[in-house]
Copies of this chain bind each other. A is one copy, B any other.
């Protein structure tokens, strides 16, 4: 069979068949190589096998289109013509690199094979040609090493052992001390191992090597690591499928001292400062810089090493930024003082850098404000908002070492030495710091769950640093004084030994490592942040409220710009020591009278709770949910605790035990809770409503403060529940206002968190002043997934790709979202003035915020620290939907 689409795209000699807008076909790397070629930037010539070939490959039982072989031959010929070299030729060999590249950056796939095309004969020819035997043999052993590793999937240790043997024989330690002969010995050793492992000789035919590499790139699309990365980063395979293969003529940074290789950002990716920032190594090949084996030099030094090249590079940076209108992340190689650019892409950056770069680019006139809003990943703002180490406290702790400030923020946790342990401990509720000599793609899952990452080797562009910044995880990298002994589960800094489980604190902004848990303080927000939020507020349509049960949360949220409280869960207040006793008295009551007596004790405390919240939120609406959880959550369940409580309450153990047992439910999530409690014990809700209204009336009288209490009834499944409760509550409200001689505007509305409420929302809407989607419960019921129990199988579902995402993190738009859309339409049909919001935990998730905007909600409510995220996401929703 043949592919109906163009398989291969050439670039070279200032002209390319593709461009930057073709990233779905050429991958990000391929599209940018084509674009740079067209821009006249020096890019080694090459060609890209498209992602459509990859799609063909996977939908045709891992077969290539019949014509691909011929297409590749043709492009190799073009490449030979373009470079004047010949593939597989002894005298004037064309060597190539083979790299993967999908539409989205995707660490975990096969990365790079360099120097492909080498064999014993070509090596001889090249030695003759370059006169640099050491360089050629080193290049050959690198090629074999990479090929064994990524194409043949052989264990790294086996090859490493060959090098170590050669070094031991000679008594040397450093690679730099190896001679041409030494590398030749290594090559020999590699080939012997290869033959034992694979049963045949290492391929010497350049074409065999090339197809082996192409197979490996396409195969690597479904590497477990690549799959995990796609899951973690919510990459939808229906939109982005497959990798391209970039075959490019080699340039060498390791051919001598006028050669080098580097990685650089056009601005500082950590702070966003508009100063090019990068690292390079002279006489080195690409991987050496990022692998963290040698510590690289700072970009500034290049000015001294080779000013011409440095200036040329700066000019290219400028050109690229103006062209791409964003900060770039560039790989370059210098071959005999000639500069080549091997890659450019929009740079990953920290949250502070996102904000600063976005605002600066507007100031520089490169982008407009709306575009700036889309340049900041809303989710990442989290990093800016959370507390940093308290400088006054810091000095009281032992600073054990300093490394590179690779990813900002502060994190304390228990030390672990590998990803598996990290995953396991975090699952058991611990906070961990992952400590590695250096990280590799295998560590990604562990890095994702760790509170922070600490490495002994590698620079600011090392794997650990790049990935940690991408994840917004705090990271200190390249702490050279650190010795990591994974097998003994400890690390050493001088005399200090830190063992698995010990507590340490990282300051990713300063690059510092402390023993123990250092207290934190509130984050200081930049002017750029304020500017961005201002633009967001001017743009967004959704109101942003907060979920807050305590004065502290309410204050924090108001500071972050919350426009009121969207959910105050009254039950959390009940757990405070002074209230829980009265609550329990209420629960064990046998009669309405006993219950009312207990409630009368709770009333002044509840009133005071609400008064504090109203005071903080003066002028803004406050939505209070009436008691929701089943009563058994307030009583102990173990015999010894029941005994203690019985004593405290002055009743018999048997009576209390019987009461506790009578409250037991098989499926409490679908049991006697929410408004169902209100129907069976209306006096509870009546007390709460009286407390709410009394608080509001007192504040009105004392401060003349405008309060709009919004009373929210949870777990409504049928409009009759709402009608019944309103009939019980409204008289209490009216009576309370009358007793204070105050008239207030108040609202009564419902949570929409039961599927039946969504499908009968027209009836409920007609009786309610507002709806608030409780997407936690709605997700539970819609999926039939108990949140407490689903962990087990959701993990399996994600692994098996049955679920693309955990529906408790981001609203499932196809199912839960469809019910929400129904509820919005029906609800507004029943009541055109209905105010509709969301207060489930997903309310602070950017995708969910955008969905809420699209289906016409009035507001979202989320936890205090997510308020700015929701503000930005709401603005992005407007920008995106105007496209």
Q: When A672-B792, A756-B783, A780-B670 are in contact, do A720 and B680 touch as well, CB less than 8 Å?
A: no
Complex CA distance for A754 and B782, rounded to whole angstroms: 6
B672 in contact with A670 (CB, 8 Å)? no
B777 in contact with A667 (CB, 8 Å)? no
Complex CA distance for A790 and B760, rounded to whole angstroms: 20
Complex CA distance for A680 and B792, rounded to whole angstroms: 9
B667 in contact with A786 (CB, 8 Å)? yes
Residues of B within 8 A of A818 (CB): 759-760
Which residue of B759, B760, B796 contacts A679 across the interface (Cβ within 8 Å)? B796
Residues of B within 8 A of A793 (CB): 672, 676, 679-680
Residues of B within 8 A of A802 (CB): 679, 718, 720-721, 724
Residues of B within 8 A of A666 (CB): 668-669, 786, 788-789
A720 in contact with B786 (CB, 8 Å)? no
A671 at the interface (CB under 8 A from B): yes
A205 at the interface (CB under 8 A from B): no
Complex CA distance for A777 and B781, rounded to whole angstroms: 10
Question: Scoring A residues 785 to 804 as 1 if CB is less than 8 Å from chain B, else 0, what string do you get?
Answer: 11011101100110011110
A838 at the interface (CB under 8 A from B): no
A812-833 CB contacts (< 8 Å) to partner B: 812, 814-816, 818-819
Closest to A815 in B: B756
A717 at the interface (CB under 8 A from B): yes
A815 in contact with B676 (CB, 8 Å)? no
A731-790 CB contacts (< 8 Å) to partner B: 753-756, 759-760, 777, 780-786, 788-790
Complex CA distance for A783 and B670, rounded to whole angstroms: 8
Complex CA distance for A676 and B669, rounded to whole angstroms: 19
Residues of B within 8 A of A718 (CB): 802-803, 815
A669 in contact with B667 (CB, 8 Å)? yes
A781 in contact with B796 (CB, 8 Å)? no
A192 at the interface (CB under 8 A from B): no
A715 at the interface (CB under 8 A from B): yes
A21 at the interface (CB under 8 A from B): no
Residues of B within 8 A of A789 (CB): 665-668, 670-672
Closest to A670 in B: B786
Specify which of A666, A668, A789, A814 lies most central, judged by the most chain B CB atoms within 10 Å of its CB. Answer: A789
Specify which of A667, A788, A801, A803 lies most central, judged by the most chain B CB atoms within 10 Å of its CB. Answer: A667
Closest to A817 in B: B759
A444-471 CB contacts (< 8 Å) to partner B: none
Complex CA distance for A789 and B803, rounded to whole angstroms: 30
A724 in contact with B669 (CB, 8 Å)? no
Closest to A724 in B: B802
Complex CA distance for A789 and B802, rounded to whole angstroms: 31
A667 in contact with B788 (CB, 8 Å)? yes
Residues of B within 8 A of A780 (CB): 670
Residues of B within 8 A of A753 (CB): 784
Question: Scoring A residues 237 to 256 as 1 if CB is less than 8 Å from chain B, else 0, what string do you get?
Answer: 00000000000000000000
Residues of B within 8 A of A676 (CB): 793
Residues of B within 8 A of A756 (CB): 782-784, 812, 815-816
Q: When A718-B815, A720-B801, A755-B755 are in contact, do A671 and B777 touch as well, CB less than 8 Å?
A: no
B800 in contact with A783 (CB, 8 Å)? no
A755 in contact with B819 (CB, 8 Å)? yes
A669 in contact with B670 (CB, 8 Å)? yes
Closest to A797 in B: B679
Complex CA distance for A785 and B759, rounded to whole angstroms: 16
A652-692 CB contacts (< 8 Å) to partner B: 665-672, 676, 679-680
Complex CA distance for A717 and B794, rounded to whole angstroms: 12
Residues of B within 8 A of A803 (CB): 718, 720
Complex CA distance for A800 and B784, rounded to whole angstroms: 28
Specify which of A784, A802, A812, A818 lies most central, judged by the most chain B CB atoms within 10 Å of its CB. Answer: A784
**A666 to B: closest C-beta gap in Å:** 4
B792 in contact with A784 (CB, 8 Å)? no
**A230 to B: closest C-beta gap in Å:** 15
A781 in contact with B797 (CB, 8 Å)? no
Which residue of B754, B760, B777, B800 contacts A814 across the interface (Cβ within 8 Å)? B760
**A870 to B: closest C-beta gap in Å:** 25
Complex CA distance for A786 and B784, rounded to whole angstroms: 11
Residues of B within 8 A of A786 (CB): 665-671
Complex CA distance for A759 and B665, rounded to whole angstroms: 29
B759 in contact with A717 (CB, 8 Å)? no
**A242 to B: closest C-beta gap in Å:** 20
**A145 to B: closest C-beta gap in Å:** 36
Specify which of A665, A676, A679, A818 lies most central, judged by the most chain B CB atoms within 10 Å of its CB. Answer: A676
B815 in contact with A670 (CB, 8 Å)? no
Complex CA distance for A754 and B784, rounded to whole angstroms: 6
Residues of B within 8 A of A672 (CB): 789, 792-793
Complex CA distance for A786 and B674, rounded to whole angstroms: 13
Specify which of A680, A759, A785, A797 lies most central, judged by the most chain B CB atoms within 10 Å of its CB. Answer: A759
Closest to A664 in B: B789
A670 in contact with B670 (CB, 8 Å)? yes
Closest to A674 in B: B784
Residues of B within 8 A of A814 (CB): 760
Complex CA distance for A816 and B760, rounded to whole angstroms: 10
**A346 to B: closest C-beta gap in Å:** 32
**A418 to B: closest C-beta gap in Å:** 23
Complex CA distance for A803 and B790, rounded to whole angstroms: 31
Complex CA distance for A815 and B720, rounded to whole angstroms: 13
A841-881 CB contacts (< 8 Å) to partner B: none
**A766 to B: closest C-beta gap in Å:** 14
A754 in contact with B777 (CB, 8 Å)? no
Question: Scoring A residues 476 to 516 as 1 if CB is less than 8 Å from chain B, else 0, what string do you get?
Answer: 00000000000000000000000000000000000000000
Complex CA distance for A117 and B665, rounded to whole angstroms: 59
Complex CA distance for A665 and B788, rounded to whole angstroms: 8
Complex CA distance for A90 and B379, rounded to whole angstroms: 93
Complex CA distance for A715 and B665, rounded to whole angstroms: 22
Complex CA distance for A829 and B88, rounded to whole angstroms: 58
Residues of B within 8 A of A760 (CB): 814-815, 818
Residues of B within 8 A of A721 (CB): 797, 802
Residues of B within 8 A of A724 (CB): 800, 802
Complex CA distance for A666 and B668, rounded to whole angstroms: 8
Q: When A667-B669, A672-B789, A802-B724 are in contact, do A782 and B784 touch as well, CB less than 8 Å?
A: no
Closest to A780 in B: B670
Complex CA distance for A707 and B837, rounded to whole angstroms: 53
Complex CA distance for A425 and B158, rounded to whole angstroms: 76
Residues of B within 8 A of A754 (CB): 782-784
**A759 to B: closest C-beta gap in Å:** 5
Complex CA distance for A786 and B670, rounded to whole angstroms: 5
Which residue of B717, B720, B796 contacts A785 across the interface (Cβ within 8 Å)? B717
Closest to A814 in B: B760
Question: Scoring A residues 570 to 588 as 1 if CB is less than 8 Å from chain B, else 0, what string do you get?
Answer: 0000000000000000000
Complex CA distance for A753 and B755, rounded to whole angstroms: 13
Could you write out 18 A-B pairs with CB less than 8 Å apart?
A665-B786, A665-B789, A666-B789, A667-B668, A667-B786, A669-B784, A670-B781, A671-B789, A672-B792, A679-B793, A718-B815, A720-B803, A721-B797, A753-B784, A755-B755, A755-B782, A759-B819, A777-B784
Identify the 7 closest CB pairs spanning chains A and B, nearest first: A667-B786, A670-B786, A756-B815, A666-B788, A671-B789, A755-B755, A665-B789
Additional pairs, 7, CB under 8 Å, beyond known A666-B668, A670-B785, A756-B812: A666-B788, A667-B670, A667-B786, A672-B793, A680-B792, A724-B802, A756-B783
